[in-house]
Structure 1
Amino acid sequence: MSRRDFMKKLHMQLAEPWLKIRLEVRSMPTHVKLKIKKSLGMSTDEGQGEGQNEGQPSSSNNTQPLEVPNKKRKICGLCSYKKRRMTKSLCSKCNTAICGEHKVDFCLRCA
């Protein structure tokens, strides 16, 4: 075994536990998880199931912005950066922060 091969093998053995821990992080972007799975030699089919679970809330018919009291306030995604309006309201489809000016309320008939 050449020195180069030994170093690559050693690197993978040392990094493998850390990479497995990183796969458990829920806020990790999907493309990063796929790269980690590829480097560990895991199948990427398992990752597609996670994407389906995350896609289900966006397909709901709820057009009302979400009010999440436990979350931190965020800057409105539609206002200019100069206004810097803080809000807890989120779009139910794309989870973008929405201030009171950009929030549109619908009645049950219109939704």
Structure 2
Amino acid sequence: MTKGPHDVPTAAELVAAVRDFLESDVLPAVEGRVRFHTRVAINVLGMVEREIELGPAQAQEHAARLAALGVASDAELAAALRGGRIADDHDLIVALEETVRAKLEVANPGYLVEE
């Protein structure tokens, strides 16, 4: 992976450093409302880290899924579904499941853990 014009640390490394600081230094020192908002900030930074890491590949995979269904965007997919132009078949279900999985991989991968 090329770094581009930016020096180290990368955006992902900066986000991870702030998340680690909040988790290890701030969270133990606060309580109540500030503790809650610190946990929210930690979760948001985790989402940003995962989107930076996974987002480019997920975007390519999503575009390929849409193309396989004969559409170019989510809006076009929704319109095609409303208009009955896409069959409610196995390919559609798999594409939708993969899209939801990709979203969960960023938003909250804990939901993907099999119990």
TM bracket, shorter-chain basis = under 0.3
Greater share of residues in strand = 1
TM-score normalised by the chain length of structure 1: 0.27
Higher relative contact order (CA 8 A, sep 6+): 2
TM-score normalised by the chain length of structure 2: 0.26
Greater share of residues in helix = 2
